[in-house]
């Protein structure tokens, strides 16, 4: 009412808020599973392996779509896209608007709720290490951006990451319903490459040019300044950028390897289908030739080439 802008800082009470929203996330997870995914699964009659992957992708499609829309709304209303310099200006960004803080708390709550869901969903033992690694990476990056006051940069990176993940899991859902439909995987491939390029460009822009120009370059944990004095050192800055480039290169290498394997399997399948079709056509042609060689039909009776019947005549007894 007084026109004051209320901003927030992180603290121990965030743990209570995160715990509350963990229970909310578990309830929403169960609602999506029961009223959407289970009904679709009963119609598709998937195997156990595909059933588990379908449930995983279905849950993540709902989460990533919601997060992309929400994150895009936050970065647009806060002006982070229209003014890229705001990503590093006035660092450290200790005090957060309500919607930014609430978004980060909900993100942490969702990925923490995924840990008990591994038990509730009866995930196969072979899938648990991969999912634990994914959950740990998301928690590490989101909590790191939140606690180290890099929330603005973290929002843009999450938007790019969730956009690529949404198309990937959407492509998997479409593939499970129709195994011949892989067009959405091609869309995901394009989106993945574009988001990786934007991510790398953003890292170089913020780490290489933005943070070194911050006015306050002294280490001040009380004010939340953890990085400015480090990025003022060109050797440290170049080392960080080199690590970022190597990590993105490893991600792209795995992506290219996956695409090459996928295309190789596709062409092998197409070639096997062509060979099977050619073999079937050859069999039909050979059958026709055998029928022609055995004789011809005349008034419904098979005749040999000399006009005589191929059947042996029975001699009548005198």
Three-state secondary structure call for residue 220: strand
In angstroms, the CA 194 to CA 197 distance is: 5
pLDDT band at 88 (very low <50, low <70, confident <90, very high): confident
Q: What is the pLDDT of residues 209-232, one digit of tens each?
A: 877 776 655 555 666 666 655 666
Q: Read off the pLDDT of each residue in 137-162 and give the average, rounded to a whole number.
A: 93
**What are the CA-CA distances from residue 143 to residues 15, 109, 226 (Å)?**
12, 11, 15
Q: Give the pTM.
A: 0.80
DSSP per residue, 132-186: HHHHHHHHHHHHHHHHTT-HHHHHHHHHHHHHHHHHHHHHHHHHHH-TT--HHHH
Most confident of 22-26, 235-239, 287-291: 22-26
Q: Which one is predicted more confidently, 172 or 240?
A: 172
pLDDT > 80? residue 237: no
pLDDT tens for residues 22-76? 999 999 999 999 998 988 888 888 888 788 889 999 999 999 999 999 999 999 9
- Mean model confidence pLDDT for the chain: 83
């Amino acid at each position: 009412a007084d026109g004051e802008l209320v901003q927030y800082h992180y603290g121990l009470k965030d743990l209570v808020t995160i715990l509350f929203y963990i229970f909310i996330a578990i309830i929403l997870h169960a609602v999506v599973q029961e009223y959407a995914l289970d009904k679709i699964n009963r119609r598709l009659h998937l195997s156990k392996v595909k059933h588990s992957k379908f449930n995983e992708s279905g849950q993540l499609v709902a989460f990533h779509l919601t997060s992309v829309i929400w994150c895009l709304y936050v970065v647009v209303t806060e002006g982070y896209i229209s003014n890229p310099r705001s990503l590093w200006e006035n660092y450290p960004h200790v005090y957060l608007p309500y919607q930014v803080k609430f978004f980060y708390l909900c993100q942490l709550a969702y990925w923490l709720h995924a840990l008990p869901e591994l038990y509730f969903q009866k995930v196969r033992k072979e899938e648990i290490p991969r999912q634990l690694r994914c959950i740990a990476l998301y928690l590490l990056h989101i909590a790191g951006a939140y606690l180290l006051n890099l929330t603005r940069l973290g929002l843009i990176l999450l938007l790019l990451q969730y956009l690529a993940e949404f198309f990937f899991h959407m492509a998997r859902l479409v593939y499970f319903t129709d195994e011949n439909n892989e067009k959405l995987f091609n869309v995901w491939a394009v989106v993945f490459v574009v988001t990786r390029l934007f991510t790398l460009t953003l890292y170089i822009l913020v780490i290489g040019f933005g943070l070194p120009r911050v006015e306050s370059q002294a280490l001040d944990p009380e004010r939340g300044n953890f990085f400015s004095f480090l990025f003022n050192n060109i050797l440290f800055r170049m080392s960080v950028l080199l690590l970022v480039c190597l990590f993105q290169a490893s991600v792209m290498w795995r992506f290219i390897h996956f695409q090459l394997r996928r295309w190789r399997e596709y062409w092998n399948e197409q070639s096997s289908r062509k060979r099977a079709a050619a073999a079937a056509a050859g069999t039909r042609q050979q059958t026709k030739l055998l029928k022609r060689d055995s004789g011809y039909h005349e008034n419904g009776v098979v005749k040999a080439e000399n006009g005589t019947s191929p059947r042996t005549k029975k001699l009548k007894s005198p």
